[in-house]
Structure 1
């Protein structure tokens, strides 16, 4: 597993975690923000009216209402990214990472507006009469290149196929594997239910729901989304108010560390500006999926005669998902203080390193060297040789890094008994069998960190049940929505005949991931997100002029239908050319 995870990390380092990917994502969003005149600020109140049916016509074609499309898309984005993803970003980059998540969301509001509008415009009807759409359709129809000789290069078709294949992969890497993994981890930690039992029960339920298609999915998600938001909001606010003295310092730390990097604090060894920026943007995308091209698939099914109207509905998603829900999660983590504290932990091999020499993170010099090591700035020598263990305690002159922190009070077990003997270590990696496991104190991340934060309120230990229930609803609804995204991509690639096989594999993957290593799943999700996002961003950028024409046409019709209503500030109504 360690070698496989290292291989995935190598791939991810060139795409999703590469600096160029972050700049592409933000660059396209910033371009459209300026090009369209900051629609995320000027169009919000109109978007709310459209969700409430303001712009509807009786003959609008589609399978879902605006609200159901928004709920389905939100259920696809409001998931582990809001609970586990925020905790993972803060764990990696500190408070500064949260700032970049929020910036990504603000810019992402425009990106989602654009991608949904263009996808809705070019949607089609599937063989069964249902509406199907997504970026692959505008790519296929609009992105071919016509040469001066008259010959047409099928570049759009190639991009569409790449995007559709990436969507199928991402349905597992984003909507399937991380969701059930976080659910099973949380349920196991809270209620002691074995991972495999949780996976089995939810896999059966998932299969029953997704067989019903988009109409049943929309019915389920439109009820789940409001319920899960209310439950989660109550628990988070309780933590924040309980730790009221930390509210202002926490908010200040989010902005104070932006251009200096998050300083070391407690067990947290600090993070550079670049690291916080990259992780914050990356986790921001994982949370709201702006630019990824997933939400347009859900919105394409909405009843609407004008694509821009549905784009405006989608504009609300990053605001709700990241600016509201992720901010609440982030403030909960910071105010509770759990993100800097070491806690009893069962060590995962993929997150563990054995260093040569003994270090103490309370000694300034050692702390600086450890910080440089975990941030890949100046690595320390890794241990190779025989690790001597007596009655569970390591007696060799080594130090253990786990979860980017110096591990303390480490005990080595063989099955359930304290281990005595020697373990082979190569380049900091323990080569022992699976029955050998390590426990001790280190930083937590992902869902366990958020779960712990929710216990720091008047609810006490009951707070962890709020996270477990919230995570169950959040993540399960995400898995439901992503099964729809993947099935639409399969229809584009091979037709309706492939959907039933896809659903079977999707449910089986959901089950297997309930007891699979967490770190590998997070790494895989980063890769699949990038493979889906890159062609989508290129596509919407190429069609920027068409997007602007669509916006002008929308406001022209809006003014005609509602002559007494004021248009957004600086909005010029121009006829389409």
Structure 2
């Protein structure tokens, strides 16, 4: 079994290597240009239509959940351990300079996520039971006429949810609660499984109702906790930014417990962990957005821009600044442990913020990815297969909490990366559709011009 995991880790290193990272970044750059830089030129309008309408009850068009409930579900899946452990790993291996490349990937990733969401609305379908379904498998099938790629994506997505969206999350929570409060991992797993089961049985509507409350709450607690540390050590902020920008182009020399990194490592882990945190290009988020109530694909696409901005440019930046400015990155710790050490250095009981953040973030990720898995399973085998999926998914939460089935965990991480390949192909093939819908919305006589009048 160990040898199988080692072989898979070698494959995983290739999957998450330079070719995929260049493809993800290149697709983001291409779509940014193709959409006439809408993620930058219309950023103010995007915030007006998203951030300032989070709690608005006004809904136009048709759908199954509100626009914010859809993005909250997507954020619930994206805003997870990646924001805490992923940033810590990027800095621990790539040095502080990795943060710059994480930012760069996110800036272009906003156009990628925007394109994914636009296509998910354009090609979504309504099932016989009245549910709205969509995502890469549907726009690959109906839009690009590549059903085989849709099947591949759905197959990769189904299995990947058991690892990255399930056991990785429950294991992180169980380990953190065991370390901080000496809670038995098995107890944590059982409680998590029951909680997730109670929510997911209600489908996207119930998940949306929970996440629209949970996501703003957990993000606010973590954001303000990190912000307090930054304010208390405000004199260290300029130096922290200086280290990030300097090391982004030089790599990082060994310091303290940090073993040093090359320029190539800095770029690779910055981009890879950036994608891991905001999921732009993976094709997961548009599955949730497909159920949103909206009158135009672009209107919901703006929430995709918002999603990447909040996830990486705000929450990940908070984590990164605390790690760099407190000097914790030189401690030799990695992942969530590094972030915990940094918050503890920043203020008394700061590590508890990370612990509670992990609990809420991981729980929300379990909810979001369970929905992704259900939709992928449904695409492959029909609505009746959803019950079977839940029978497998929920017990694995307990298995993950006690560290079991590492082989599934390892394979799922690889398949998570492979999900991106068919999705990126679909985005490139359907880029003219994304451009046309963008022009339709922002062009003459479009919704944007009418709203200005």
Q: Same fold (TM over 0.5)?
A: yes
Instruction: Give the corresponding residue for 1:456.
Output: 345
Distance (Å, rounded) in 2 between the aligned partners of 1:561 and 1:449: 45
Distance 1:561-1:13 versus aligned 2 partners, 3 A rule = closer
Structure 2 partner of 1:109: 110
Structure-1 residue corresponding to 2:389: 502
The alpha-carbon distance between structure 1 residues 211 and 263, as it changes in their structure 2 partners (threshold 3 A), is same
String of CA shifts for 1:398-457, please: whole Å, max 9, x gaps: xxxxxxxxxxxxxxxxxxxxxxxxxxxxxxxxxxxxxxxxxxxxx221112211211113
Q: C-alpha separation between the residues in 2 aligned to 1:54 and 1:202?
A: 28
**8 Å Cα contact 1:122-1:137 kept in structure 2:** yes
Separation in 1 of the partners of 2:394 and 2:243? 42
- Residue 83 of structure 2 corresponds to which residue in structure 1? 82
For residue 100 of structure 1, report the CA deviation from its aligned partner. 1.1
For the pair 1:251 / 2:241, whether they are aligned, the reply is yes
Q: Could you report, residue by residue, the CA deviation over 1:335-354 in whole angstroms, capped at 9, with x for unpaired residues?
A: 1212212xxxxxxxxxxxxx
Alpha-carbon separation, structure 1, partners of 2:329 and 2:405: 19
The 3 A distance-change label for structure 1 pair 561 and 294 is closer
1:167 to 157, 171, 190: 157
**Corresponding residue SS for 1:323:** helix
Cα distance in 1 for partners of 2:286, 2:225 equals 31
Alignment-derived partner of residue 32 in structure 1 = 31
Distance in 2, Cα, partners of 1:307 & 1:564: 16
Query: Does 2:183 correspond to 1:193?
Result: yes
1:269 CA displacement: 0.9
Equivalent positions of 1:414-429 (< 5 A) are: none
Query: How far off its partner does 1:556 sit?
Result: 4.3
2:290 to 291, 294, 300: 300
* Residues 565 and 114 of structure 1: CA distance in aligned 2, closer, same or farther (over 3 Å): same
Alignment of 1:545-564 (within 5 A): 545-556=432-443, 559=446, 563=450
Q: Which runs of structure 2 are paired with 1:304-453 in the superposition (5 Å)? A: 304-341=294-331, 443-453=332-342
Matched with 2:196 is 206
Give the helix-richer structure, 1 or 2. 2
Higher strand share goes to which structure?
1
Q: 1:127–1:496: 8 Å Cα contact kept in structure 2?
A: no
User: Aligned equivalents of 1:514 and 1:90: distance in 2?
Assistant: 26
Alignment map for 1:121-200 (pairs within 5 Å)? 121-144=122-145, 156-200=146-190
Deviation, 1:558, is: 6.3
Give the Cα–Cα distance (whole angstroms) in 1 for the partners of residues 298 and 23 of structure 2: 24
> Are the counterparts in 2 of residues 50 and 66 from structure 1 also a CA contact under 8 Å?
no
Flag the 1:565–1:549 CA change in 2: closer, same or farther, 3 A.
same
- Structure showing greater radius of gyration is 1
Query: Does the aligned pair in 2 maintain the 1:50–1:56 contact within 8 Å?
Result: no
TM-score normalised by the chain length of structure 1 = 0.75
Structure 2 distance, partners of 1:225, 1:291, is: 22
Note the alpha carbon deviations across 1:196-245, whole angstroms, 9 max, x for none: 11111111111111111000000000000111112112221232233344
Give matches, 1:58-97, under 5 Å: 60-97=61-98
Alignment CA distance shift 1:113-1:204 (3 Å) = same
8 Å CA contact retained: 1:250, 1:331: yes
How far, CA to CA, are the matches of 2:240 and 2:263 in structure 1? 18
Shift of 1:524: 4.5
Residues 505 and 292 of structure 1: is their aligned pair in 2 closer, same or farther, counting only changes over 3 Å? Answer: same
Distance 2:355 2:451 in 1: 49
Conserved in 2, the CA contact under 8 Å of 1:173 and 1:528? no
Higher mean displacement: 523-532 or 110-119: 523-532
Normalised TM-score (structure 2): 0.94
Aligned partner (choices 258, 262, 286) of residue 252 of structure 2 = 262
**How far 1:277 moved relative to its partner?**
1.1
The alignment of Structure 1 onto Structure 2 pairs a total of residues equal to 451
How far apart in 2 are the matches of 1:157 and 1:304? Answer: 26
Q: State whether residues 228 and 470 of structure 1, in contact with CA within 8 Å, keep that contact through their aligned partners in structure 2.
A: yes
Q: Which has the higher contact order (CA 8 A, sep 6+)?
A: 2
State the distance in 1 between where 2:387 and 2:247 align.
49
Gaps in structure 2 of 5+ consecutive residues: none
Q: Does 1:238 align with 2:228?
A: yes
Give 1:315 deviation, angstroms. Answer: 1.1
Q: Distance in 2 between matches of 1:468 and 1:57?
A: 36
Q: State which of 352, 362, 371 in structure 2 corresponds to 1:484.
A: 371
Q: Distance in 2 between matches of 1:503 and 1:92?
A: 36
How far the C-alpha of 1:523 sits from its partner, in A, is: 5.0
Give the distance between the partners of 1:561 and 1:338, measured in 2 at CA: 46
State the distance in 2 between where 1:84 and 1:528 align: 20
Helix, strand or coil at the partner of 2:426: helix
Q: Structure 1 residues 546 and 56, CA, compared in 2 at 3 Å: closer, same or farther?
A: farther
1:51-78 C-alpha deviation (Å, 9 max, x unpaired): 3299998661111111111111111110
Alpha carbons of 1:131 and 1:5: their partners in 2 closer, same or farther (altered >3 Å)?
same
Cα distance change on mapping 1:448 and 1:564 into 2, 3 Å: closer
Residues 1:11 and 2:11 are matched in the alignment? yes
CA RMSD of aligned residues (A): 2.2
Secondary structure (helix, strand or coil) at the match of 2:344 reads coil
C-alpha contact 1:73 1:299 (8 A) present in aligned 2: yes
Unaligned runs of 5+ in 1: 145-155, 342-442, 567-577
Cα distance in 2 for residues equivalent to 1:199 and 1:492 = 29
